[in-house]
Structure 1
Amino acid sequence: MMRLLRVELTRFRARGAVRWTALGLLVVTMLLVFVAFTQARPMPAEEQAQMRALFEDQVDLWEAEGDEWVADCEERQAEDPASDYGCDQMAAPSWEDWVGQTPTFATTGQEQVSALPFAGVAFALLVGASFVAAEISTGAMGLWLTFEPRRSRVYWSKAAAAAIGALPVVLATFLLGVAGIYAVYAAFGRVGDTDATWTTLAHVAGRTLAAAALVALAGAALGAILRHTAAAIGVVAVWFLVVESLVVPQVQPELQRWLLRDNLGAWIFGGSEYAVPVCSITEQGQVCEYVQREITQTQGGLVLLGAVAALTVLAVVLFRRRDVS
């Protein structure tokens, strides 16, 4: 088995599709660094001057008419006690509210960092599916089975090679992305309080690698089941873009608890949330509000593991029984 695994790892690294997909992941990583640059750089002096002038105009307007606005609001509130006009929240403009929070690596930068694990997992899925499906669709798998007829060993060596081979690329691009995003914010003196950030990122990196390995196994299983890379990509795209993003949230929101996307995020980031509408009948008619529900990290890991296991069992059964020549 180890000999087969070494051979498959060599073939995995030699595949052009793997190299091109890795290059695509690198491009995505650099785009995230560029997004961080656009977020981190200070506002040009001319724009700051224009915004300051607009802010001062609003301050002058508030000083001239603010009391009247508050009085009008309180009068409307008195006429309609059942409604909340937010009169107590009316206050003079502040510069901090006007320009927004200063972006830092510890705050805004984590939005770009949080996209890195999903990009790495997508890479693992693509290379896992293409590594198996391409050899079946081209007939190379049938030829390989004449040298190694034990199909279970062949399948597991290929799936393991996809899982192991994807990890260095996923880890390298994650570290490169974090370093690039940090460097951008540091260059503008906007690092922020990172006392707990690095520990969190280390945990995220470890869970991302575990997720990437499992998803690569799922990709290999899809490749064996569907036997064409395009078919595997199409099924994944329809599932995530249509079923998980459109159908389930609209038709049965409570089922979002079991969606792969949300559970993957829960596993990687230590938990996630989804929103469900809770409706009630009032005098004004039906009123709905969205309530946040939590998915724990443990559930996320178990759902991901269960989905991969189910796909893998089906793939092994079909691979052992179907003609692959």
Structure 2
Amino acid sequence: MSLYRTELRRLAKRRFTRYMSLLGLLVLAAVLVGVFFTNQKIDASQLAKAERQATQDYQSQVRYTEQERVNCEQAKKAGTPNDGRFPDDCADISAPPREVFDARNYLPSTFDFRETFDQTLVPFAAILALVGFVVGASFVGAEWSTGGMMNLLLWRPKRLTVLLTKLAALLTGILAVTLPAAVVWFAGFWGVATFRGSTEKMTSGAWQSFALTGLRGVVLVLVLTTIGFALASLGRHTAMALGGVVAVMVVFQFGLGILLAMASVRWAEAWLLPTYLLAWMMKTVTLQDYQSCNFSYSGECTPQTYDVTWQQSSVLLSVGVVVILGAALWAIRRRDIS
């Protein structure tokens, strides 16, 4: 009997695997439905209504400004104390230009596929990566805690082969859930854009960019699934993986973030893991140093920036997988199975 097929069957029959996968898919479905009902398709009547609303707000602001200028001049003539309410020169009180009241700001939310779809791939990857991490940790952690791993090694004593076959079956199962979910995700949001937004300006380059982002999302799901599996195998219990994540989030994320903020460390976000995970999905995350200024010829203050790229994230993820999975393989080879 093939060990790989046996592990696939065991993974598929585990109730925890089914429930977690179903829960993750339901959350994704809820996101899709929520986006559908919170967006509208913009037509000519809505554009005209938004333009009227923008004009009304501009006229209201003009009337308010004129009244404030009159109040300022009256206060100057009466010698009333200013108390900082009015400027020294009442002529400085003027209404903002008409172009500030852009009609687009008065339109209801609409889903533009080209402009917005790549942002939806971030929660898609995050939710399925969480499912993969927990399922992977439970899949091998339960084997260790119930003694199933020891019984299996009596039948197939090659330790590394057994562990890697379990991992291969796990990744196959996660991939079997992720790939169809990704296809439905693309199709679902195309439908949202068709009925509640716009599918205009889609080019082959845009499709290629979305496909590459989706591919990186799938890779992220597989990477975190592997890490969850390896942590649970290293600690011989599911709690090892889950406890490790809690420790990383509390100590190295929240604690370190607070410490870096208190110390006013430059580019503090560059030391935090979520920045690199987001950069992996979005290709680039630009950090800004608001304590520094580059003054332009117009006198505008522009903060200095630092880019975290997906290439840097790929190095971090690769090192993490190699170190954690390597430690799990070394542990199962060197330690007694008891």
TM-score by length of 2: 0.76
Aligned pairs for 1:143-222 within 5 A: 143-195=151-203, 196-222=205-231
Q: CA deviation at 1:132?
A: 0.8
Matched residue of 2:315: which SS? helix
Pair 189,206 (structure 1): closer, same or farther in 2 beyond 3 Å: closer
Q: CA deviation at 1:110?
A: 3.7
Matched residue of 2:112: which SS? coil
RMSD of the TM alignment (CA)?
A: 3.8
2:61 aligns with 62
Q: CA deviation at 1:102?
A: 4.4
Choose 1 or 2 for highest CA Rg: 2
1:137 aligns with 145
Out of 296-305 and 13-22, give the one that drifted further: 13-22
The answer as to whether partners of 1:32 and 1:177 remain within 8 angstroms in 2 is no
Pair 70,40 (structure 1): closer, same or farther in 2 beyond 3 Å: farther
Distance in 2, Cα, partners of 1:303 & 1:109: 26
Matched residue of 1:272: which SS? strand
The answer as to whether partners of 1:120 and 1:170 remain within 8 angstroms in 2 is yes
Distance in 1, Cα, partners of 2:247 & 2:95: 45
Pair 77,191 (structure 1): closer, same or farther in 2 beyond 3 Å: farther
Distance in 2, Cα, partners of 1:174 & 1:243: 33
Matched residue of 1:40: which SS? coil
1:19 aligns with 18
Q: CA deviation at 1:57?
A: 4.4
Among 103, 113, 122, the alignment partner of 1:114 is: 122
Name stretches of at least 5 consecutive residues in structure 2 with no aligned partner: 73-85, 294-301
Pair 63,316 (structure 1): closer, same or farther in 2 beyond 3 Å: same
Pair 197,247 (structure 1): closer, same or farther in 2 beyond 3 Å: farther
2:283 aligns with 270
Out of 190-199 and 29-38, give the one that drifted further: 190-199
Matched residue of 1:107: which SS? helix
Distance in 2, Cα, partners of 1:54 & 1:177: 36
Pair 291,119 (structure 1): closer, same or farther in 2 beyond 3 Å: farther
Distance in 2, Cα, partners of 1:292 & 1:238: 30
Q: Give the aligned length.
A: 308
Matched residue of 1:295: which SS? strand
Aligned pairs for 1:79-118 within 5 A: 90-92=96-98, 93-99=101-107, 102-118=110-126
Pair 53,179 (structure 1): closer, same or farther in 2 beyond 3 Å: same
What amino acid sits opposite 2:216 in the alignment?
Answer: R
Distance in 2, Cα, partners of 1:91 & 1:198: 39
Pair 130,166 (structure 1): closer, same or farther in 2 beyond 3 Å: same
The answer as to whether partners of 2:122 and 2:281 remain within 8 angstroms in 1 is no
Give the fraction of aligned pairs with identical amino acids, expressed as a percent.
24
Residue deviations 1:277-321, cap 9 Å, x none? 5369xxxxxxxx975421112111111010111111211222223
Q: CA deviation at 1:49?
A: 11
TM-score by length of 1: 0.79
Q: CA deviation at 1:118?
A: 1.6
1:285 aligns with none
1:307 aligns with 320
Distance in 1, Cα, partners of 2:309 & 2:88: 42
The answer as to whether partners of 1:128 and 1:220 remain within 8 angstroms in 2 is yes
Q: CA deviation at 1:18?
A: 1.6
